[in-house]
Chain A
Amino acid sequence: MSAVTEQRDASPPEPPKGLSPRQKQRVSRGVQYAVLLVVVVVLAALADWKAIGQSFFNLDVARQGLPELFTVALRNTVIYTVSGFVLGFVVGLVLALMRLSTVAPYRWVSAIYIEIFRGLPMLLIFLLIGSLPLAFPGFELPGGVYGSAALGLGVVSAAYMAENFRAGIQAVPKGQMEAARSLGMPHMRAMVSIVIPQAIRIVLPPLTNQLVSLLKDSSLVLMLGVTAAQVELAKFGNDQASTHANPTPILATGLTYLLITIPLGYVARRLEARQGAGR
């Protein structure tokens, strides 16, 4: 063994010139707090709180929107969203299967559909659906506004969901299809009983996000021209705001959207986390 013990430098380290990194960090954070404080104080001093309260948080005006805000507007928003989602789900699944078909023309049709409807603004689709009676006088979609809304929301979300489903189906291990086929199941039966249920589980988080964005897009139904009974949240808020010459109803409508979108987003994140943990 070597008996040599290294002599550690006992004298304190020489104080560095200027600030240490930690000191710099502290100063920087202090400055950020100071800026924030100044901004808040200036805003609070300059803002006309009374006017803001009158305009945006006018409870009297908000109360006049009740209970229709929930019983009519929210209800219709949910109906439009869910019917669009169901249509998009079914059509999207069919498109995904076509996209994976061995028959080339099916693949083309599906690819073209997806490209078109992912590439167009949803607003344009609604304008188009709204003008169908112009092109075909006397033509009416079954279900009236409800049918038109489901169609508009459905055809666009189908394009997005098709891509989700395709990814999900491809994420199911190949051995699942092989095991099903070797039990004598025809291809379609194996798809329906074995592959698709697993694929849907895989794409549950993105589908939930799709539902959230459909909920917001359902505001475009106002482009179809709706009666008071068919009104959804966004138009309802806008109409109320016009009637009372006060934007409070728009804010109330916004809160109502958040009432649904925030929990749904939470559910989506939970599903994602659970999937990350399992398997």
Chain B
Amino acid sequence: MSTVKISDLHKSFGKLEVLKGVDFTVESGQVVCVIGPSGSGKSTLLRCVNLLEQPTSGTVVVDGVDLTDPDVDIDAARRRIGMVFQQFNLFPHLTVRRNVTIAQERVLKRRKDECDRVARENLEKVGLLEKIDAYPPQLSGGQQQRVAIARALAMNPSLMLFDEPTSALDPELVGDVLSVMRQLAEDGMTMLVVTHEMGFAREVADRVVFMDGGVIVEDGPPEQVIADPQHERTRGFLSRVLHPGA
């Protein structure tokens, strides 16, 4: 289990300031959903947590390690942080088995049979053990995303980051991915989830963070942020998301 502590995080792309001073924490075992309109900086925030984006200023501390410290071993830190992408990003030239074992073998230096055992265990968890010898392009989007989750879990991360994991999926495939994530939350995984799935956020999240314009507007339990938002901007966003076309 893991804790995340972000303080005064700024991130600019050229002249465009995407994150304008973000402070927040994720306690060990918590599930935090980040919601907000597109362009609000929520994906950038998530990508700063495993340093796929280098923060312009501020600190990101995961498990007591300051990732923004120039001397930190970022590869070692990333091993403990699983990441699931909107576009899955499975390795299309490798089988499902190899997708799940390659980093265990090359990064964690696990023995081959150990890698295979862990791969099977995690594919079982996401319900795709029978696809172990398939190639990613042969799978549906939902299946690919579940393999991507298994791939991240095989590294035994203490924190899982989800960047809009269901946004690229056909509506009927969303449920399978969400139920895998729900199971993961029940098992006590620390999760930071950028999502548009309000139902998932309301049900599973311990906290919901609403971002807009590069800052956190509202941060609290889902029954407050989603059901009874305090800020005008949150209310406006939620009404657009929950009642589109109204």
Contacts from A to B (Cβ < 8 Å): 173, 175-176, 178-186, 189, 193-194, 197-198, 201, 278-279
Whether A198 pairs with B92 at a CB distance below 8 angstroms is yes
Which of A176, A184, A193, A197 is within 8 Å of B75, CB to CB? A184
Across the interface, A183 reaches (CB within 8 A) one of B76, B78, B87, B92, namely B78
**In the complex the two chains form, is B89's CB within 8 Å of A183's CB?**
no
Chain A binding surface SS class: helix
6 contacts between A and B (CB under 8 A): A175-B89, A178-B52, A178-B85, A183-B78, A183-B103, A184-B107
Q: Known: A184-B75, A184-B79, A185-B75. Contact between A179 and B91, CB under 8 A? A: yes
- Size of B's binding interface in residues, CB under 8 A: 26
A185 touches B93 (CB 8 A): no
B147 to chain A, nearest CB (A): 12
6 closest residue pairs by CB, A with B: A184-B79, A179-B89, A183-B103, A182-B83, A175-B89, A184-B107
Chain A contacts for B50, CB-based, 8 A: 182
A173: chain B residues at CB < 8 Å are 87, 89
How far is it, in angstroms, between the C-alpha of A185 and the C-alpha of B89 when the chains are bound?
15
Contact with A along B49-73 (1 / 0, CB 8 A): 0101000000000000000000000
Give the residue name and chain of the A residue nearest to B91 (CB). Answer: A194
* Given A178-B85, A179-B83, A193-B106, A184:B155 Cβ within 8 A: yes
A-chain residues with CB within 8 Å of residue B118 when the two chains form the complex: none
When A175-B85, A178-B85 are in contact, do A184 and B93 touch as well, CB less than 8 Å? Answer: no
Q: Are A175 and B87 in contact (CB under 8 A)?
A: yes
In the complex, whether B207 has a CB less than 8 A from a CB of chain A is no
Q: Kindly provide the distance from the CB of B193 to the nearest chain A CB, expressed in whole angstroms.
A: 15
Do residues A183 and B107 form an inter-chain contact, with CB atoms below 8 A?
yes
Instruction: Kindly name the residue among A173, A176, A178, A184 whose own CB sees the greatest number of chain B CB atoms within 10 A.
Output: A184
Smallest CB–CB gap between B154 and chain A, Å? 9
Given A193-B102, A193-B106, A201-B93, check contact A182 B52 (CB 8 Å). Answer: yes
CB distance from B71 to the nearest CB of A (A): 16
